[in-house]
Structure 1
Amino acid sequence: MIQALFADRAENWARYDGPLQKALADAGLSVEIHQPGEIAPERIDYIIYSPQGPVQDFTAYTRTKAVLNLWAGVERVVGNATLTQPLCRMVDAGLERGMVEYVTGHVMRYHLGLDALLAAQDGIWRHDSATPPLARNRSVVMLGLGALGAACADALRQLGFAVTGWSRTQKEIAGITCLSGADGLEAALRRAEILVSILPDTPETTDLLNARTLALLPRGAQLINPGRGTLIDDDALLAALETGQVGHATLDVFRTEPLPPAHPYWAHPQVTVTPHIAAESRAETASEVVAENIRRGEAGEPFLYEVDRARGY
């Protein structure tokens, strides 16, 4: 019998119990799932893990074949010196679709000028000034072309937008202008009427959007960040909003979460705060990924979405 540990907050077990049991049964696996403290660590084959859960020291888990993260982000665990087992991040269909829907919705909100229209319900007919261009005449830039970024870029392409993507390593995606490297980043930013950032949190991406790089954007560019809060220099963004260099920012992730009530983002008229809702793991689809990785581990096959420790994701 395979032994697994559910190492998330106790209150999340109710959401995952049924979906996990079903996904494991559908995969033909016999797995006993335990809560922390119910079984000796040296008997655990797989840890179903959340960074907010009780397991922070992996030293005693000598039999564990993989740590299966329930979150897309692994920045809270990838640097843990006690973690020597393979670490897999979560990429599941529900999380991906949630991100696509969030990004597409806010890009369309910006593209159609809905904020201005909704704010101007004053009896004045603004037909000529309110008509947006067609999507094909609007340049959208996606920072990050991993599974989530590529899916969002493709969805926007299908709506007709002129989409450019940037990533640290060169990618090739049909219908998307793909750039990489420092020169590619500058070229991408210079054309970003709407900028979407879905990059991971790594030393290379920290403060990537700073005073210098924000100044490269077309004046009045609009920003959407459902990636990681560390990607943005907050002081630089606030300054760019004050001068009009950045027209509006929609932010879903922050360096400190929950975002403190006194943070200037809350009251800023050109900032929309959403409470980290863009890409939430769904128990049903996340459980299918967990079950598939356990099946792969038992069959001696490569794990899905195994983290490259050197790159940090």
Structure 2
Amino acid sequence: MPIEVLISAPEAVAAEYIPHLERAFETEELEIALIRDPEAAGGAEYVIWHPEGPVTDYAGFPKLRAVLSLWAGVERALGNPTLTAPLCRMVDPSLTQGMIEYVTGHVLRYHLGMDAHILGQDGVWRNEVVPPLARDRRVGILGLGALGGDVALALGDLGFQVEGWSRRPREESRIPAHSGEEGLEALLARTEILISLLPGTAATENLLNRRTLAMLPRGAFLINPGRGGVVNDQALIDALDEGQLAHATLDVFRVEPLPPEHPFWRHPRITVTPHVGAETRADTASETIALNIRRDQDGEALLYRVDRAQGY
């Protein structure tokens, strides 16, 4: 008998994913009945979840074995009291590669001082400032999970002095890693370009505030493609106005789309990008979904299962 799988996603998203999912299920040798109508999916064993999909009440799925997210972030699912089945976040090779490319681009922009030349096409020959080589530039990464760890390694391979920080100690790797309050202070004190790839949890809310931003060397840069709530909006604006920070690139926000009246849009030292740092790609994400279902059916542990106590 086929395994019932419900895809709970907006119509356009579901239509994009279905052919890729069908190919991935075939590759994993899974006999799947892929269902789009929640009313016809009472026997579903798995729900493929998109935060804007139609399913909000999971009580009607008594056979549910797991909810498999199409997004890396699962904050909007964690608060659902009817979702008691295991919840798995999306870890997608294409998403990771997209984040590496986004972060690398903006790090190089700040490292090379590109804005002075791109924006200064006014006949002035500006060659008085020669950027250091990557080996002399200190980059700090907050969050060393699936995304942060790979971003750190990629920047290290380019020669940057990369250090990382996570809330909990990490196993040894090529990238020096800190943890805890003292570790955060030590990292910030020597970081010229700071990248936040932290998840959005109660413990990370407003982690970058007036006190912690002041720990950075004066004139540092911030890149945040992680979660908007990690940065205190007003503290960031103040740090930019006072010259403590030179510029910030922000890809994630507390409210999305970012409202037109928000001061970030008009601030001369803020670059707003519309949450494009890392998109889930249907082809490779479908492979992750199919692999996880196959593992669960074979009695193996689900990959990327969310620890509800930690929030990610």
Q: Give the TM-score band, short-chain normalised.
A: over 0.9
1:194 paired residue number: 193
2:27 paired residue number: 26
Please report how far the alpha carbon of residue 173 of structure 1 lies from its aligned counterpart in structure 2 after TM superposition.
4.7
1:134 paired residue number: 133
Q: How does 1:1-313 map to 2 (within 5 A)?
A: 1-41=2-42, 43-129=43-129, 131-313=130-312
Which amino acid is 1:239 matched to?
A: D
Deviations 1:77-98 (A, max 9, x none): 1121111100000001011001
Distance 1:241 1:69 in 2: 36
Please report how far the alpha carbon of residue 51 of structure 1 lies from its aligned counterpart in structure 2 after TM superposition.
1.3
Which amino acid is 2:242 matched to?
A: T
Distance 1:180 1:194 in 2: 18
Query: Unaligned 5+ residue runs, structure 2?
Result: none
Deviations 1:267-310 (A, max 9, x none): 11100000000111100010000000110111010001000011
Distance 2:41 2:145 in 1: 37
Distance 2:115 2:259 in 1: 25
Please report how far the alpha carbon of residue 125 of structure 1 lies from its aligned counterpart in structure 2 after TM superposition.
2.0
Which amino acid is 2:308 matched to?
A: R
Contact 2:221-2:246 within 8 A present in 1 as well: yes
Please report how far the alpha carbon of residue 56 of structure 1 lies from its aligned counterpart in structure 2 after TM superposition.
1.0
Moved more, 193-202 or 59-68: 59-68
Which amino acid is 1:167 matched to?
A: S
Runs of 4 or more off by more than 4 Å in structure 1? none
Secondary structure of the 1:142 match is strand
Distance 2:159 2:306 in 1: 33
Secondary structure of the 1:102 match is helix
Distance 2:150 2:184 in 1: 20
Secondary structure of the 2:257 match is coil
Contact 2:6-2:38 within 8 A present in 1 as well: no
TM-score under structure 1 normalisation?
A: 0.98
Which amino acid is 1:112 matched to?
A: L
Contact 2:35-2:41 within 8 A present in 1 as well: no
Deviations 1:81-138 (A, max 9, x none): 1111000000010110011100011001110000112122222222232x10000100
Contact 2:49-2:67 within 8 A present in 1 as well: yes
For these two proteins, the number of residue pairs brought into alignment is: 311
Which amino acid is 2:61 matched to?
A: Y
Query: Unaligned 5+ residue runs, structure 1?
Result: none
TM-score under structure 2 normalisation?
A: 0.98
CA RMSD, aligned part only?
0.9
Indicate the percent of aligned positions where both proteins have the same amino acid: 56
Deviations 1:169-192 (A, max 9, x none): 111353311000000001111111
Contact 2:38-2:55 within 8 A present in 1 as well: no
Distance 1:151 1:4 in 2: 31
